A and B are shown apart, each in its own frame.
Chain A
Amino acid sequence: MPLGSPSNPVPKNSASATSTSSTSERSRVVVDGRSQSDSWIDMSALMRIKDMPLRAKSVVDGFHNGLHRSPLHGFSVEFSEYRPFSVGDDPRTIDWKLFARSDRFYVKKFEDETNRRCYLVIDQSKSMNYGSVSYTKMEYARTLAATLAYYLTLQRDAVGLLTFEAAVTEFLTARFRTGQLKRIMSLLAKQPNGTATDLQQPLFHLAEMVRQRSLIIVISDFLVPAATLEQPLSFLRARNHEIMLMRVVDPAEVALQVGDAAMLVDLESGRELHVDPEAARISYQAKYAEHENALREMAGRMGISWTSLTTTDSIEFALFDLLHRQQNGQKEAGRTRGAEQVVGGKP
C-alpha cells in the first residue's frame, strides 16, 4: 500500500477496513500524523493560494507521487471475462489464441474504466459560509471539489458539476473533453449568494437529469434532518448511481467552540439565540453526535460512502477515500461478477 509508506501515515488497515470514515477518527489520524510527519498539505497554506486550479494541482500532484507506485494503478483496460461467442457478436472480439488452444470461440470482455462519470454536487448555502479558521467551509468545499475534479480528469473520467443553495444554481453535464475542467473551475470560482439549504430538490433534479450510472459526490455540511435525505438518496441509488457523501464541518461546530456567551445568529434564518457555550456544550455535542450517527447509519444502510471532514483536515484524505472507494468498488464488482459467474455455470 503506497499510502501506508512513511510519507503516508494512514494505517494500512484503514483502506480496507470500511468504506466509511468518521471525523473523529480522521482528526485523530491527522493529529497523530502531524506529530510524526509534515508531509500532509497544510490547509491554511493551501487556502492562501488564490488560483483554484493551482490549489487542486498542488494537492493532486503530491498525491500522485505515491499513487504511481500503486500496483492497482495503470489498468485502464482491464480484463473482465470470457464469454462464448454467439451470433451477432463482433468477430473482432474473438480471442484467437484461446480458440487455438481450445478450438472454441470465446469473446474477451474488458472493463472500461475511462468511461466513468462523476458528478460533484456542492452545497453553497449560507451555512457553508461559516468558518472559525482563516477560511470558511465553503472555500474548503470548493477546493475539495476542484481537487476531485482535477484528479478525476487526470484519470480521464468525465466530470460534471452541480451547485445548489435553496435550489440548483449551476449544472454542468459530466464530460471528458478539453475545457471541461476549466469550466468547472470557473463555476467553482463564482461567488454564491445562497441563503437556505434544500438538499432534496437538487438530488431529485440530478436523478432526473443523469440517466447513466455515475459516481455522485455530495459535498455539504448536511445541517438538515437526516430523514429528509433518505428519499432523494434512495431515488439516486435506485438509478444505480454510486454516491459519496462528504460532510464538511468546522472544528467549532463539532465542539461548539464559540467563545463566551453570546448572541448566536443563524446564518441561514437570521434567528438569534442567546447561548452560553459552557452550559449548552454537552447538550449540543450530544445532539450533534446523534445527528451524525443518524446520517452515517442511513448511509451505511443504503450502501453510500460517508466521509466527514473538518476544515482543518487535509484534502488528500478525500482523494484517498475516493481512491479507496474505487478499489473497493472494483473488488466488490469483481466478487459480484465471480459469484455471478459461479452461479451462472461454467464458461
Chain B
Amino acid sequence: MSFLTPFYGLAALAIALPIIFHLVRQRPKLRREFSSLMFLDAVPPKLAQKSRIENWLLLLLRMAAIGLLVAAFSRPYWNLAQEAESQGTQVRRILLIDTSASMRRSGVFDRAVEKAKEFIQQGNGKDVVAVYAFDKTLAPLFSLDVALATSPVDRKQAAIRALDNAKTTWFGTDLGNALVTASDLLLADTDATEDSALEANEIVVVSDLQNGTSLDKLSSYNWPRNCKVRFERIEANKTGNAYFRFLNDTEESSETESTAGAKVPKGGTSSTASTAEQNALFQRVRVSNDAKASESKFKLAWLDSDGNAIPDAGTQCNVPAGESLVVRVPIHPKGASCLELQGDSVDFDNRMYATKREPDTSKLICVDADETTKEASLSYFVQNLPFSSDTRSVTYETRKPADPAMWPSPASSPLVIASHRIEEQDLAGLSEYVEQGGNLLWVWDCGLDGRTSGVDYARGLEVLVGIGDAKVTESRGKDYAMWQRIDFRHPLFVELADSRFNDFTKVRFWSHRVVEMNESNSQILSRFDDGSPAFIAISKGSGVLWLMTAGWQPTQSQLALSSKFVPILSGLFRVAAKDSTAIPKFTVGDQIKWDVGEKVLDPHDIEIVDPILAEPGVYHRVDALGEKSPFAVNLIDAESNLASLDLESIERLGVNLSDQRPAVVQVSAQRQLRAVELESQQGWWRWLVMGVLGAVSLESVFCLLGVRTK
C-alpha cells in the first residue's frame, strides 16, 4: 500500500482533536446577564480526567471519520505491479552530438562530450544507445545497427568510447536533417521489431542549439508519434559574437538601405574622392554584433597567408551590441589572404578569406557594314554598350561581311552580332562558331522588300542551324508592332521581370519580318502583337543562334533608344559568357568539380580527394598547364548566429519533445505518473469517502439519540 499524496497523512494528527474535545468540558455556550461579578472569580474550563470520557462510541466514530478522510486525501493505491512494469520498458535512443563549427568555441565541445558521456552512463543498462555526430550531415560514431548487435553489458562503454572519436568540423548545422535522419533510422529499425509498440524511441541532441541551425527539413516531415526528442543544451563561456561578411557590388545599394544610419568611415581617403573612386579603393563589409555581446570595439585587418597583419590595411570600427555596421576596408591588398575581425573573443568565425582574381578578357564582334547614317547602323548602338565589369574586360570589333579572317573561338568571343548584311561565305564560319558553343545574334534589320545585300534569311537559317522549311515574309500589318508574350523567366529578360520595368508598350517596331518554321530546338522569347516570333533562341551544337526579326536602330524600331536595350544586350552577353551576377562564393560544405587533368589544393597545399570543401581558407585550382587560380572558402553565414534557439520553434514544427528536465527528476516524475495512473485505476479514495459519510451519519444518529435521551 502506497500513498499518492502522503503529506496529507500529517492531517491524521487531527484524530487527536475529538479526544481533546471529549476531554474538555464544554465551554458554556450560554451567556447570561448578571447584576454584578464583584463576588465571582474567573474559573477556566477544566480538562476532565481521561476516565471521564463518556461517549466512547461517538468518540470512535468521530476518530474513524477523520482517519478515513485523511486516508482518502492521501490517495492510497496498491503498487505490486509497478516495479515489474517499470523494468519491462526498453528505450532505444540515438544520441546526436553537434560537431559543427560553432562548437569550436572554447570548451563547448569538450563539455558536450562530457555531457553525452554522462547521459549514457546514467541510462538504463537495457537501453539501446547509438551515437551519431551531426553538422551539415549525420555521421555514425556508434551506429544503431552496431549498438543492437553489441551485448547490453558492453553497450554503454562502447558508446562512450565512440564519443572519443568525435571531432569538430567547419560545417554548418542542419539540425532538421539530423533529426529527420535519426528518426528514420529509429523507425526503420522499430518496424522490423515485432513488439515495437511496447518500446520507446528517443533522440537526444547534445548541442549548443544556436539560432543559425537549419530546420527546413522538419517543416516537410511528419514527425512520428512514438519518437521523442530531448535536448541537452551546452552553454558557452562567453555570450555574444561579432562577425562580418563581404558585400559585393550588387548588395551595396540594398545594404546601404538596410543599415540605415550606418556610419561609413573614410578609411584615410580624401573627402573629395567620388563614390566610384571609393568603390575602386575600398571593399565594403558588414560587421554585425550579437545582442548579448560584451565587446563593441573591433578592428578589421588584412592578414597574409602566414597570419601576419599587413600594415596600413586595417580599419577600426565601433559596433554596439545588437547592431550592425557597414564598414569600408581597403580593397584586397597584394599578398593578403584573409580579413580578420580583431577584438571579438569568439574567434572561430573571425576570419573571412578572399582572393583577388584577374579580370577575363573577351571580344565582342559585330558583323556589319558602314552605314551612311549612324541611326541606320546596327553596330553603332552596340559598340558603346558597357559590357566590361570587374571580372571581365570586353573589347569591341566591327567586322565587314565576307571578311576572310578566321572566326575566333567561343571562349575568347562568346557573342557575335550579325546584321542582315552577312554574306553567303560568312555562314559556314558562323555555323561552325555556333556549333562550337558560340552565341550568334542575327538581327534581321532590313525588310525583304528593300534589301540590296546580304544572304537570304531563310537560306541563312538553313545553313546556320539547319532549318530548311523556314518561310520568311515581311509583315503587312498596321503602322507599328509591339512585343508581347515576353518570357521573363529567361535569363535574357529576367532583370526586366519586375513590374517597374516590364512595360514594353513604348517600344514600337516600325517593321518586322514574319518567320514560319517548325523547329523543336527553338525557343520563342517574345512575339509581336500579330503573333509572329520576335526573339527566338535556336540551339545548335553547344551554341545558340539568337534571332531577332526586327532591328533596333531607329529606322527599324525604338528599341535601341529605349531603356530596355542595355539590359537585354548585357543579359545576352552575360548568358553567352556564362557569367553570373554575383561574385562566385564558396562556403564550407560546397561541392566542387574539376576537370580531368585539373586538381584542387586545400589551404595546406594538399590535393583534395573529396569534392566537398571541408574547411575555410584559400584553395587553389591547378589546371593542366600547372597554372594556379585561387579561390576562397568561408564559413556559412548562419553558423555565426549564436543566439539560443528557442525549443518552441522546434516543437511548432511537430517534433515530439520529451521532458527536458534532468534524468533523475524525470525518473521521479515517471514514478509519480505511474502512481497517479494506478491510483486513478484503483480508486480506493471513493470507498474511503463512503466510509467517512457512513461514520458521520452514524455519529449524527447516535448524537440525536443521546440528545433525546437527555
Chain A residues at the B interface, C-beta cutoff of 8 Å: 127-130, 137, 221, 223, 250, 253, 258-269, 271-276, 279-280, 283-284, 287-288, 291
Contact = CB atoms under 8 A, between A and B. Distances in A.
B87 interface: no
B39 interface: yes
Given A264-B37, A287-B39, A288-B39, A274 B44 contact: yes
Interface of B: 25, 27-28, 30-45
7 contacts: A221-B35, A264-B40, A266-B37, A267-B33, A269-B37, A273-B40, A284-B40
A223 B35 contact: yes
A137 B31 CA distance: 20
A265 B31 contact: yes
Given A130-B34, A137-B35, A267-B35, A280 B43 contact: yes
A74 to B, nearest CB: 42
A283 B43 CA distance: 12
A129 B33 CA distance: 10
B34 A264 contact: yes
Nearest to B37: A266
Given A265-B33, A266-B34, A274-B45, A260 B28 contact: yes
Contact of B43 (A137, A253, A275): A275
A246 to B, nearest CB: 16
Contacts of B34: 130, 258, 264-267
Given A221-B36, A261-B25, A284-B40, 13 more contacts: A129-B35, A262-B28, A262-B32, A263-B30, A263-B32, A264-B33, A265-B31, A265-B33, A267-B33, A267-B36, A273-B37, A273-B40, A280-B43
A215 B45 CA distance: 49
A264 B32 contact: yes
B41 A280 contact: yes
B331 to A, nearest CB: 101
A250 B41 CA distance: 20
Contacts of A276: 43
Contacts of A263: 28, 30-32
Contact of A268 (B28, B31, B32, B36): B36
B27 A274 contact: yes
- Please report whether the interface of chain A is mostly helix, strand, loop or mixed according to DSSP: mixed
B688 to A, nearest CB: 39
B509 to A, nearest CB: 117
A312 to B, nearest CB: 16
Contacts of B30: 259-260, 262-263
A275 B40 contact: yes
B40 to A, nearest CB: 6
Contacts of B45: 274
A223 B28 contact: no
Contacts of A128: 35
Contacts of A269: 37
Contact of A127 (B27, B31, B36): B36
Contacts of A261: 25, 28
A263 B28 CA distance: 6
A287 B37 CA distance: 11
Nearest to A224: B38
B28 A272 contact: no
Contacts of B36: 127, 221, 223, 266-268
Contacts of B42: 273-274
Contacts of A268: 36
Nearest to A250: B35
Contacts of A260: 28, 30
B151 to A, nearest CB: 81
Contacts of B35: 127-130, 137, 221, 223, 250, 253, 267
A288 to B, nearest CB: 5
A283 B31 contact: no
Nearest to A225: B38
A215 B36 CA distance: 29
A273 B36 CA distance: 11
A279 B25 CA distance: 14
A291 B39 contact: yes
B44 to A, nearest CB: 7
A253 B36 CA distance: 9
Contacts of A288: 39
Question: Which residue, of A263, A272, A279, has the highest number of chain B Cβ atoms within 10 A?
Answer: A263
B52 to A, nearest CB: 15
Q: Nearest 6 CB-CB pairs, A to B?
A: A130-B35, A262-B30, A287-B39, A127-B35, A223-B36, A264-B34
A306 B595 CA distance: 144
A23 to B, nearest CB: 15
A310 to B, nearest CB: 13
A213 B456 CA distance: 168
